Amino acid sequence: MQQMAEVAQGAATLLARLMLTVVFANAVSTKVMQFSTTAAYMQQEGIPVPKFALFAAIGLLLIGCLTLILGAWTRIGALFLLVFLATATFYFHDFWRLADPVQRQLQMFQFMKNVAIGGGLLSLAAFGGGPWSVDGWIALKQEEAESSPKPRATAKTQ
Identity of residue 64: G
Q: What is the mean pLDDT of the chain?
A: 93
Q: Is the pTM of this model over 0.85?
A: yes
User: From the CB of residue 66, how many other CB atoms can be counted at a distance below 10 Å?
Assistant: 14
Residue 118 lies in a domain: yes
* 57-90 pLDDT tens trace: 999 999 999 999 999 999 999 999 999 999 999 9
Give Cβ neighbours of residue 85 (< 8 Å, ≥ 6 apart): 114, 117, 118, 121
Number of compact structural domains in the chain? 1
Domain residue limits at 57: 2-129
Residue 143 lies in a domain: no
Q: What percent of the chain has pLDDT over 70?
A: 95
Q: How many helices (H) and strands (E) does the chain have?
A: 6, 0
